[in-house]
Structure 1
Amino acid sequence: MTKAARPRTDPDEVREKILEVAEGQFRRIGYQKTTVADIADELGMSAANVYRFFQSKSAINQCICARLLDGAIELAWRHVRAEGDPAERLEALLVAMHRHNRETLIQERRMHDMVAAAVSEHWENVKTYKERLNTIIEGLIREGVDAGVFAADDARIAADCVLGCFGMLLHPVMIEQCIDDDLDTKARHMARFVVRALKA
């Protein structure tokens, strides 16, 4: 009697399970304390098997960080797609992004630590995140120019300036250093200032 063939596991499903377990570990004990062996033990597999899907622990870190940053980008898109004129949506987008990053620090300290390290160490997915956010804001500024709301000559440069002005209120390390300040009020004031500058 022949044994039934074992069902083949989709590699993408295995990768996703590894990332789910890794993210859970990161949230509980932090990304630095989590080892590949910890992840493998929870999954009931060997560390060598985890390495079949990810070349290193750093690769897992990068993937989890990208997930978090993707969530922030989706938040930005929700404000772009919302109702209201471009000035209102840009102001709301900037304040919402600040609040998102601040809440991550307060409620998900261990995940905040990973994002802060990613920013400080210039991980590739942080560069991609910044480019995507810049592109989103550029598009919203272009929409405002077309609608006669903004007076920017170059939407790309204007988007760079917006993020340059607002950067302190988005940067995880700067938020952490100023967490005792009334950052919400500062974010709203800075967002209004930026929007008014675009209208000049």
Structure 2
Amino acid sequence: MKPETPIALPQRGPALHERREQIIRAALDHFRHYGYSKTSVADLAKAIGVSSAYVYKFFESKQAIGEAVCTHSLGQIDDALREIAQSENSASDRLKELFASLLSKSLALFFEERKLHDIAAVAAANHWNSAKNHRAALYSILKHVINEGRESGEFESETPLDEVCMAIASVMTPFSHPLMLEEKTPEQLEERVLVITNLVLRSLVK
């Protein structure tokens, strides 16, 4: 898994325009209740009292709206992981928390917001920029924690940093990928995340 550079999502109209945010809020609501596939641009336009043509001034397609919603959902996970990475805990403890939090929040999206989870699955399967940006954010967060662990003398520093981060990001995939989450029960995933976290830490600690 190579590190990916965050990609700017295509958008029309001023990025911070309140209408654009209104469209995203309407999309969140509709996708949450009806699902991505059963919601049309016309449905969203009707919900906020504008024409479909007006919506297209801000988003070039339904997929672009889906990207924005997916970015919102995955961005909340990224923010939680960044908060862990910036804490004062040891690098080992932060890495444990990253694994556990990534799984718990991904499962919450899967079970509590199933229709939003389904959008994330579409994003992953079709390589949407929102999914790529999520992976890039995770890689950056890992790099920060591993680098600080090396600087403090907690982790070994002989293995190339990018190689370490790529490996850890790869073994984290089953605990966050929307499609792979469906292959195991939460209990199985929780058991595996603990085993893999311990294995990763044994390979890092000096």
Q: TM-score, normalization: structure 2?
A: 0.88
Larger relative contact order (CA 8 Å, sep ≥ 6): 2
Equivalenced residues, count:
191
Q: What 5-or-longer segments of structure 2 have no aligned partner? A: 1-14
Of residues 31, 43, 51, the one that matches 1:46 is 51
Q: Deviations over 1:139-159 (max 9, x none)?
A: 110100111111143222111
Of residues 169, 177, 183, the one that matches 2:189 is 183
Matching of residues 19-168 of structure 1 within 5 Å: 19-152=24-157, 153-168=159-174
How big is the alpha-carbon RMSD for the aligned residues of Structure 1 and Structure 2? 1.6
Structure 1 residues 71 and 180: alpha-carbon distance in aligned structure 2, compared to 1, 3 A threshold: closer
Task: Indicate the structure (1 or 2) with the bigger Cα radius of gyration.
Answer: 1
Q: Deviations over 1:119-138 (max 9, x none)?
A: 11111221122112101101
Structure ranking higher in helix proportion = 1
Q: Report if the CA contact (8 A) 1:86-1:141 is conserved.
A: yes
Q: Kindly report structure 1 stretches of 4+ aligned residues shifted beyond 3 Å.
A: none
Structure 1 distance, partners of 2:95, 2:16, is 40
Q: Report if the CA contact (8 A) 2:107-2:186 is conserved.
A: no
Q: Report if the CA contact (8 A) 1:54-1:60 is conserved.
A: yes
Structure 1 residues 11 and 125: alpha-carbon distance in aligned structure 2, compared to 1, 3 A threshold: closer
Q: TM-score, normalization: structure 1?
A: 0.90
Structure 1 distance, partners of 2:59, 2:173, is 33
Q: Report if the CA contact (8 A) 2:121-2:178 is conserved.
A: yes
Structure 1 distance, partners of 2:137, 2:172, is 16
Deviation at 1:83, TM superposition (A): 2.8
Percent of paired sites with the same residue = 29
> Which deviates further from its counterpart, 57-66 or 174-183?
174-183
Q: Report if the CA contact (8 A) 1:87-1:144 is conserved.
A: yes
1:3 is matched with none
* Residue 172 in structure 1 maps to residue 178 in structure 2: yes
Structure 2 distance, partners of 1:156, 1:133, is 13
Deviation at 1:185, TM superposition (A): 2.3
Structure 1 residues 173 and 81: alpha-carbon distance in aligned structure 2, compared to 1, 3 A threshold: same
Deviation at 1:63, TM superposition (A): 0.8
Structure 2 distance, partners of 1:122, 1:108, is 21
Q: Deviations over 1:36-61 (max 9, x none)?
A: 11111111111111112111111101
Q: What 5-or-longer segments of structure 1 have no aligned partner? A: 1-9
Q: Deviations over 1:163-193 (max 9, x none)?
A: 1122212211111121264322221221121
